[in-house]
Amino acid sequence: MAFLPDESRSLPPPPLLNKGSVWLGFMGWLSALLDNAFNQRPVFRSGVHRQILFATLGCVVGYHLVKRTEYVYAKVDREMFEYMRHHPVDFHSA
């Protein structure tokens, strides 16, 4: 992916059906339905190919956004644990 560095390849991939992909897939489908309604076409029966396209695009974008989010969280965790390893005095156990 263009917006993820190569070091993100070491992370396990997120599941295909995750919160982001399902939500954005639903929003894509809903945007196709709203486009039909605003243009005074039958909401569900018109432009089924666009409904499928928008839902698929939403799922793909949601999947990659979740993948990027997991990479950013992993990077923050790695930096935090590295800091804790170099400063053990600040993190003594009770």
Nearest C-alpha neighbor of 70 from the set 17, 2, 24, 20: 20
Contact (Cβ atoms closer than 8 angstroms) between residue 59 and residue 22: yes
**What pLDDT, on a 0 to 100 scale, did the predictor assign at position 2?**
63
- Residue-range domain boundaries for the chain: 18-87
Task: Give pLDDT tens digits for 35-84.
Answer: 999 999 999 999 999 999 999 999 999 999 999 999 999 999 999 999 99
pLDDT digits (tens, 9 = 90+) for 81-94: 999 999 989 887 76
Tokens linked to 59? 């799922």
